[in-house]
Amino acid sequence: MTFELDCLGLKITVPLENSHAVEGGFIAGAPALSLNLPSAPVRFYRHGWQSWTLAAWIDPSLPVTPISAPDFRAKDEDPLYAISKSHVSAWVGAFEFGKDAVLLVGALDLGGRVMLQGAQMSAFYESGGGDWFFALGKEDQVFKRYAQLLGERLGSRPTRPLRVWCSWYSLYNLINEKILRQAITDLGDLPFEVIQVDDGWQRSTGDWEANKKFPSGMADMAAKITATGRIAGLWLSPFITTKSSSIFRDHPDWILKDDEGRPVFAGMNFSGKIYALDVSHPAVLGWLQQQIRKVRAWGFEYLKLDFLYAGAFPGRPFEPKPREEIYRQALRTMREAAGEAYLLACGAPIVPSLGLCDGIRIGPDVTPYWLNVPLSVYLNNPNHPSTQNAVRTSLGRLWLKEIVHIDPDVLFFRSRVNALKPDERSLLLDLGEIAGFKATSDLPQWLSTEDRKKLSDYLGHSARLKQLGRYKFQIDNREVDYSAAIPLPKGQPFPTILASGLGLAQMARREVLPAIAEVLKNRFS
């Protein structure tokens, strides 16, 4: 069977079996397919695998530049394609040939990848087969239709986005019971619906019990939050662990192993080196269920589940199933244990999470500065925490708003401990309006009277939105253009930095954030 797509004189003919027309395009069933495009596209939409992984329109004529540091590749990219010499997109790829002429090829099942080399497009499933959606037309139309089809296949959870205060971006993991109780009090009547305790409350990554900094326990903390009329939220990273945890020590069979029988390294975070749990293991699934039921019994009804990508890491799992299938099964186990709690998936493989989470992070972590030059530029890592990286990738995933709450991360209102320039801060605040998910970590004592009023007004405001172009929006009566924030920065390669005698640590101290010292100095003042 042959399908022909025609748009503005551009014709693409696709000879495929098992195909049928649907609204907006057609669906073809195939484990793999290839297509000679009419020409090399001027832009390629590359969709990242998990929350932090770059999703953006890129120039396909430029060479692929993998992240230089293996530790960051493990944390920020799909490990199977992290050093590919071709442009690889997770589940969906799109090819721009001219204004309003965009070809979208999107997987409707788990494990799909789209690859581009010159004018040659190939798409494949990592295992077995599945369906592909083809559409040609205006960018907004083809992505909207693809999102609708994903929602029909995988589900959606149409609930209202919440207004959230979380502890991370002011206190990081240096939280304790006294500080949080004071913050809860000082938030006063600010219109937050959720107060979420982030990393730093647990004994270790893998041991999800209150540590010594929370002597009254986490049920008491949840009660203090709910007493203010708000929902109590809690951070966990249930698919990873560290060597210091009892899980790693007492249950070595619960750790995902590679082909050599070694624990699968999943990157670095504030806990140090982290390792993936084998979430296909029945005992691990039972343990996950217990952990979620436990924190729900404590009184937490909003759960931020972080570093979820580890649940879909390649390895030798107990249950030999496709890795994204394993991930989705484990996330479903937690969804069922959580009941009606709000689940925010972070560091999460995007498509396998749909229908099982209420919200999903759609970009890297923000920071109170614009760009971490040493780690983002010199190490070729556009996935690293930085506000510019977060803005770029979040804008590349707005099409998901059709079927899931999209979280571009927190917004900054504080005057203190903030190195963002006024225009940079405005772009971030406008992104929150566009996405519809509004959160902050600003400590009340870091807010001036004017800051506090702006925050209160912002949380209570519902903007009128209209998208005018790929990077241009109308927000109420203003036009906002993100074009200048989108291009990937060009910098000198990392080896030159070393050759110059200026080491990475020194470069970070000099360029990353003069305010880091101020953050540490003022964190508790």
Cα separation of 340 and 164, whole Å?
17
Angle between the N-to-C axes of helices 323-338 and 282-298, in degrees from 0 to 180, rounded to the nearest 10: 30
Coil, helix or strand at residue 392: helix
Catalytic residue among 78, 306, 358, 409: 306
> Does residue 172 come out as left (phi exceeding 0), alpha (psi in the -120 to 50 range) or beta?
left
The reply to whether 409 belongs to the active site is no
Catalytic, 250? Answer: no
Burial class of residue 423 in the structure, from the number of CB atoms within 10 Å of its CB (0-12 exposed, 13-18 middle, 19+ buried): exposed
DSSP state string for 78-147: -TTTTT-SSEEEESEEEEEEETTEEEEEEESSTTEEEEEETTEEEEEESSS--EEEEEEE-HHHHHHHHH
Residue 394 identity (one-letter amino acid): S
Long-range contacts of residues 447-450, Cβ cutoff 8 Å, at least 24 apart: 447/413, 447/414, 447/415, 448/415
Distance of CA 100 to the CA centre of its chain: 28
Annotated catalytic residue, options 198, 199, 365, 442: 365
Closest to 391 measured CA to CA, from 372, 410, 408, 368: 408
Q: Is 58 helix (H, G, I), strand (E, B) or coil?
A: strand
The residues, ordered by sequence, that sit 6+ positions from 115 with a Cβ below 8 Å of its Cβ are: 84, 86, 87, 88, 89, 93, 121, 122, 123, 124
Cβ neighbours of residue 322 closer than 8 Å, sequence gap 6 or more:
110, 111, 126, 127, 128
Residue 421: what residue type?
K
Q: For the chain, how many helices (H) and strands (E)?
A: 15, 29
C-alpha dist (Å) from residue 400 to 397, 406, 518: 6, 7, 37
- Reading the block at residue 470, the tokens are 């790929």
For residue 510, the tally of other CB atoms under 10 A from its CB is 11
Q: Tell me the C-alpha distance between 109 and 351, whole Å.
A: 8
Q: Catalytic amino acids?
A: 306, 365
